[in-house]
Structure 1
């Protein structure tokens, strides 16, 4: 087993997204997943029915004890939930400034339900971007963070995010149009394109969480950022194709299919 990943995110009772999807992803790719839960959601494939935040002190302590004992080769942050939780996370991470961090700026669930407010978006812009090694927004999140039309110009919006402090941006293309799904890794020097045929399905719950965790696992296992992105995109595409068809709404993807990309 190679690659320790500390996942800081919310719990999804339906198992398709959040902490549950993150653990499945890291495990399928041969890494080790530890967690710090920020919120407990009452969630299924049809939507988010309630959110119960975890106290800030408990979030801080989860992070502290894991990093002091097990350590981490990469940290993945998903649902923060509130500005107070975000500040608790930032404070907890101060003693470990050199651990690579993948930031998935979760603001809205696949169902359309809110998982973060304007205060969270502002904290992401002002505090988290500069700490992250790579940020993984979908196109609506990219628009919310930059105020630009990311549907028309995702690379331009990603470059704007880099101008705000991000080191690299993986602009996810799932909300785009057309038969080709295009994810683009934008750095200050280069743009890397990852293309896959679009799979027409409603079973895409947790794809953003899973992609960010797959990317974090690759970084933790020593892959370069472009290599980690390429593997993460391919693994999630395979998992979408292998979706088990569960639930009445946006069903989960088939995480076990990711094991084909596990490192020996």
Structure 2
């Protein structure tokens, strides 16, 4: 059994950050230890939010205690999500410490910065940190399309250009880039698309659009993908399984009319959902087409 250390936000009410990632990973058979960067009453979808952020010294002390207790070396993967300007560097220090104990540790970074329609919801310091430190340091990056643009300074308008932009992050040293919430002129608008890219392959997966907004779906996607990759699945299989499971959870959320993800109610679907069909984009990528560039948004 694999063990994941997940460092991201925790909310008492809602399904974002560790409040979705820990349960999803555990339900998929992955031992998971949640370490919060912030502890909040709920996510920002509700009108009132309260709770503290952990300082760098507090976060570092927790990791120190884990190492002193001899358990830090049991970690097979680090998953990071929402971070603060004060604690960002500690997460990267933790990745280095884990790799010293186990060179095979995977670092999966969900570079939480913002989304199309809402813009950035982290301060410029966090955006700058992720832009400088995430590509190449993380083994797996899971940006949405808006965050891909922020990380690369590119504005892709076709699926081919999305792959090309993601490949710039691969060229920087990140092995796998999963781009979520992909919208492109050459993709059907009635489906939700994700594109996974490595140096050798590019894979597209699509699922039907659901008429609702889902907070935490990106956190869920990163966690589920990591679980499948830790299980040794090839990228296309892991992507299809991830898309199928996430869509099943979202569909159950809509059916129940819930504001937060119906993760507990849909836990069986999370595990047993039919994988979504995937499509190789390698043939498409044989003809180069560079995305347009714009100034980095950080």
TM-score range, shorter chain: 0.7 to 0.9
Q: TM-score, normalised by structure 1?
A: 0.85
SS at match of 1:5: strand
Where 1:214 maps in the other structure, the secondary structure is helix
From the superposition, tell whether residues 124 and 90 of structure 1 become closer, same or farther in structure 2 (CA, over 3 Å).
Answer: same
1:109-148 aligned at under 5 Å gives the runs: 112=118, 115-148=121-154
Match of 2:204 among 193, 206, 220: 193
Residue 227 of structure 1 is aligned with which of 237, 240, 247? 237
Q: Distance in 2 between matches of 1:106 and 1:26?
A: 19
Q: 1:155 to 1:9 in 2, by over 3 A?
A: same
In 2, Cα distance between the equivalents of 1:241 and 1:25?
16
Mapping of residues 8-157 of structure 1, within 5 Å: 8-44=7-43, 45-46=45-46, 49-50=49-50, 52-66=52-66, 68-69=70-71, 71-82=74-85, 84-97=86-99, 98=103, 99-108=105-114, 112=118, 115-152=121-158, 153-157=161-165
**1:226-245 deviation per Cα after TM superposition (whole angstroms, max 9, x unaligned):** 43333222211111111142
Q: State the SS of the aligned residue for 1:52.
A: coil
Question: Gapped runs of 5+ residues in structure 1?
Answer: none
> TM-score scaled by structure 2?
0.76
Cα deviations by residue, 1:154-195 (Å, 9 ceiling, x for unpaired): 222212222343222101126667112221111112101112
Aligned residues: 256
Distance of 1:105 and 1:215 partners within structure 2: 15
Instruction: Tell me the secondary structure at the aligned position of residue 130 of structure 1.
Output: coil
Q: Distance in 1 between matches of 2:47 and 2:109?
A: 23
Larger Rg: 2
Unpaired stretches in structure 2, ≥5 consecutive residues: 275-298
Give the C-alpha shift of residue 18 in structure 1.
0.8
CA RMSD of aligned residues (A): 2.6
Q: After alignment, is 216-225 or 29-38 more displaced?
A: 216-225
1:171 to 179, 203, 226: 179
Distance between the aligned counterparts of 1:55 and 1:23, measured in 2? 21
